C-alpha cells in the first residue's frame, strides 16, 4: 500500500480535489477532479493523472448539493478509488492565516476557531475554505487535516513591505499587507533552482496571472514584496476585481453615490477588472478574440498595470534576473507574455517570439540579460508536500 494525501480546495460554488501518492521521495498525482455549481446544478468530474476522464455525474438543475453533499460524493468516490492507497491525511487550501499562521498547521477545533477570525479579511474565500474542515472534524475526527495558507509564504517579507502608512495601532491590530497566491509562488520557487540556478539565488518576479492575479518579488527564493495587500483585491486588475484603487474613490462612492460596504464590495470584487472595463467578459481568451474596442482597452490596461507593478517590484529587489509567468493566462497566452516582455525591455528582457509561441519553458533569447520563463503552477502538490511534512 502506498501512502497518499488528499488535497481539497473549496470555493463558494465548487470543491476541487486531488490525491497524491508517495512516489520515491516525492509525491505523484493519482487522481484529481471537482464538483462545480454545488448550489445550482452540480456536476462532478474526475480525471486520472494522465488527464483521462474516469468518472462524471450531473445532478438536476436546482439541486442544492451544498458543501456537505459535495464532500460526501467526493469521499465516496475516493473510497472506491483507494485500492492500493492508504490515506494519511487531508491538506486544505486556506486563503488566510493572518499573522499567527506563517506555516501550514494541523487543524483541531482551536485552530479552526482561530481561522474563523480571519473571515472578515477574506470574506469571499475563507468561509468556504473552512467548511470542509469543519465537516470532516465532525464526521472523520480520526483523519488528520492540515491547513495550508496563501498568505504564509509572504510572512518572510521585510517589515516595511508588510506595512501600510497608517497609525501604528491599526498595524498592530492586523491591518497589514498579507499577500496571497503564496502556495503558487512557493511552488515556482521550488522548481526555479532546476530551471535557472542563477535567478533562483538572485532576483525574480513571478507573475501569477489567472482569474485572480498578482505578482511576487523573490529574493533567493523568498518573498520580499507582492502586489496583493490586506485583501486579494489589491494590485493588478483581475477578471472581475479592480486591483489597486485610490482609497479616495471608496469615500467618493460612499458620500456621493450613497453606496454601502456591501455594494462597494460587489463593485470592486465582482464587477470591475477585465469585465468592468471591457463590458464584454472577465475571460482573457474572449477579450483577446474580441474586436470590440473596449475589450482591447481592457487588455491594454491589464498589460500596462503589469508593466508598472513590475517596475515597482524590480525596484524593491534592486534589479531583476528573471521573470516567471504562471496561472491560466501566464501559462497559456503567448500574446500577453509577449506584450509584458516588451514592456520589460528596459529591464533587459529580450523575448524569443518563437519559443514563446511554442510554449517553451524559456521564452527569452539566450543573450537576454534578464531571462523569462513559463512554469505551470502546482499549488495542490505544494499542499500535499506540506501536509505530508506536517504529519511526519
Residue closer to ligand ADP (CB basis): 298 or 372:
298
Residue closer to ligand ADP (CB basis): 70 or 320:
70
* Nearest partner of 190 among 376, 320, 388, judged by Cα: 376
Q: Check if 150 is active-site.
A: yes
Nearest to ligand ADP by Cβ — which residue? 328
d(CA 227, CA 178): 10
Q: How far is the CB of 161 from ligand ADP (least distance, A)?
A: 23
Cβ atoms of 45 and 32 within 8 Å: the answer is: no
Residue closer to ligand ADP (CB basis): 152 or 275:
275
Q: How far is the CB of 51 from ligand ADP (least distance, A)?
A: 15
Residue closer to ligand ADP (CB basis): 131 or 282:
282
N-terminal to C-terminal alpha carbon distance within the chain: 17
Residue located via cell numbers 470590440: 292
What residues are paired with 209 via a beta bridge? 213
Residue closer to ligand ADP (CB basis): 321 or 380:
380
Residue 278 DSSP SS3: helix
Phi, psi angles (nearest 5°) of residue 66: 75, 175
Q: How far is the CB of 316 from ligand ADP (least distance, A)?
A: 24
Q: How far is the CB of 144 from ligand ADP (least distance, A)?
A: 27
d(CA 316, CA 364): 23
Cβ atoms of 281 and 275 within 8 Å: the answer is: yes
Query: What does the DSSP assignment read for 133-191?
Result: HHHHHHH-TTS-EEEEESSGGGGGS-GGGG--SS-HHHHHTT-S-----HHHHHHHHHH
Choice among 114, 150, 172, 352 that is catalytic: 150
Q: How far is CA 323 from the centre of its chain?
A: 18
| CA 366-351-341 angle, 5° bins | 135
Residue closer to ligand ADP (CB basis): 15 or 284:
284
Cβ atoms of 154 and 170 within 8 Å: the answer is: no
**Which residues contact ligand ADP (rule: CB under 6 A)?**
210-212, 239, 283-285, 288, 327-329, 332-333
Q: How far is the CB of 29 from ligand ADP (least distance, A)?
A: 17
Cα-Cα-Cα-Cα dihedral sign, residues 288, 293, 294, 298: positive
Residues in the chain: 392
**Looking at the annotation, which residues are catalytic?**
150
Amino acid at each position: 500500500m502506498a501512502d497518499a494525501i488528499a488535497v481539497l480546495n473549496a470555493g463558494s460554488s465548487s470543491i476541487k480535489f486531488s490525491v497524491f501518492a508517495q512516489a520515491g521521495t516525492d509525491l505523484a498525482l493519482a487522481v484529481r477532479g471537482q464538483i462545480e455549481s454545488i448550489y445550482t446544478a452540480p456536476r462532478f468530474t474526475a480525471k486520472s493523472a494522465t488527464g483521462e476522464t474516469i468518472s462524471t455525474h450531473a445532478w438536476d438543475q436546482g439541486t442544492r448539493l451544498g458543501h456537505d453533499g459535495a464532500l460526501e460524493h467526493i469521499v465516496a468516490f475516493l473510497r472506491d478509488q483507494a485500492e492500493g492507497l492508504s490515506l494519511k491525511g487531508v491538506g486544505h487550501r486556506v486563503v488566510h492565516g493572518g499573522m499567527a499562521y506563517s506555516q501550514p498547521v494541523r487543524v483541531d477545533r482551536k485552530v479552526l476557531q482561530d481561522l474563523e477570525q480571519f473571515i472578515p479579511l477574506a470574506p469571499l474565500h475563507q468561509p468556504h475554505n473552512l467548511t470542509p474542515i469543519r465537516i470532516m472534524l465532525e464526521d472523520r475526527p480520526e483523519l488528520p487535516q492540515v491547513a495550508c495558507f496563501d498568505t504564509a509564504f509572504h510572512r518572510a517579507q521585510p517589515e516595511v513591505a508588510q506595512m501600510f502608512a497608517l497609525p501604528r495601532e491599526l498595524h498592530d491590530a492586523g491591518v497589514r499587507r498579507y499577500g496571497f497566491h503564496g502556495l503558487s509562488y512557493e511552488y515556482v520557487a521550488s522548481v526555479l533552482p532546476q530551471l535557472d540556478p542563477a535567478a533562483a539565488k538572485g532576483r525574480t518576479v513571478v507573475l501569477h496571472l489567472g482569474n485572480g492575479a498578482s505578482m511576487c518579488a523573490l529574493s533567493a527564493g523568498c518573498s520580499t514584496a507582492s502586489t496583493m495587500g490586506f485583501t486579494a483585491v489589491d494590485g493588478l486588475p483581475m477578471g472581475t476585481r479592480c486591483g489597486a484603487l485610490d482609497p479616495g474613490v471608496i469615500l467618493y462612492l460612499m458620500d456621493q453615490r450613497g453606496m454601502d460596504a456591501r455594494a462597494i464590495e460587489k463593485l470592486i470584487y465582482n464587477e470591475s477588472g477585465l469585465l468592468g472595463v471591457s463590458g464584454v467578459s472577465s475571460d482573457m481568451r474572449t477579450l483577446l478574440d474580441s474586436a470590440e474596442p473596449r475589450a482591447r482597452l481592457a487588455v491594454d490596461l491589464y498589460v500596462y498595470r503589469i508593466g508598472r507593478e513590475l517596475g515597482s517590484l524590480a525596484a524593491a529587489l534592486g534589479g531583476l534576473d528573471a521573470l516567471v509567468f504562471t496561472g491560466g493566462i501566464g501559462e497559456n497566452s503567448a500574446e500577453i507574455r509577449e506584450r509584458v516582455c516588451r514592456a520589460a525591455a528596459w529591464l533587459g528582457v529580450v523575448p524569443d517570439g518563437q519559443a514563446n509561441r511554442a510554449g517553451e519553458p524559456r521564452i527569452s533569447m539566450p543573450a537576454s540579460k534578464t531571462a523569462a520563463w513559463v512554469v505551470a503552477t502546482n499549488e495542490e502538490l505544494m499542499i500535499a508536500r506540506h501536509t505530508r511534512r506536517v504529519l511526519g
